Amino acid sequence: MKILVIHGPNLNLLGKRETDIYGTLTLAQIDDKIKALASELGLKVAAAQSNSESEIIGLIQNSDYDLLIINPAAFTHTSISIRDAISAVGKPAIEVHLSNIHRREEFRRKSITAEVSLGQISGFGAESYLLALRAAKTYLSGN
Ligand code: DQA
């Protein structure tokens, strides 16, 4: 079972960026945690980060995976084209956020991509990705 993890714009700056909101772990450290848990769960995982909406759509359309875990970052709130790519490909998707988007600014409370996702995990820092991976395993195992 193959999982594709996509990190959206500005998440390459994790560890330096607004650490009070997003924590002090770098993206590389988060990816290491994701890979360690994936191997424990017997899942294959590939992770990619992009600041470009077009590249993210390309990854969603062209990669080989059974389930998508995506933190669309700011595109969560703006991108109909990422939403449509998830819907068009028809693979199950789990939306992840480090921060709890529902207790932040009004504009972050609306997710366009959640409408085409199995569910959303928001507010647990890097742990949000690990919870998503566990949910992915359960879902793909048919439980
Ligand atoms: C984020 C929340 C978004 O609102 C924001 O634009 C991000 C990160 C999160 O992981 O908490 O860049 O997706």
CA–centroid distance, 44 to ligand 1, in Å, is 25
Residue 115: per-residue pLDDT: 96
CA–centroid distance, 74 to ligand 1, in Å, is 6
Relative to the CA of 8, which ligand 1 atom is closest?
12
CA–centroid distance, 98 to ligand 1, in Å, is 7
| Pairing relationship of beta strands 93-97 and 119-122 according to DSSP bridges | parallel
Mean pLDDT by 10 residues, the chain (143 residues): 98 96 97 98 98 98 97 98 98 98 96 98 98 98 90
Question: In the chain, what are the domains?
Answer: 2-61+82-140 (3.40.50.9100)
Paired tokens of 115? 């409408």
Ligand 1 pocket, residue 131 CB under 6 Å: no
Task: Point out the residues that are catalytic.
Answer: 22, 97
CA dist., res. 31 & res. 73, Å (int): 16
CA–centroid distance, 123 to ligand 1, in Å, is 10
Residue 143: per-residue pLDDT: 80
CA angle 16, 22, 26 (to 5 degrees): 50
CA distances, 3 to each of 15, 62, 79, 134 (Å): 24, 13, 22, 11
Ligand 1 pocket, residue 111 CB under 6 Å: no
Relative to the CA of 128, which ligand 1 atom is closest?
10
Burial class of residue 123, CB neighbours in 10 A (0-12, 13-18, 19+):
middle
Relative to the CA of 99, which ligand 1 atom is closest?
11
Instruction: Tell which residue, 39, 29, 93, 97, has the closest CA to residue 63.
Output: 93
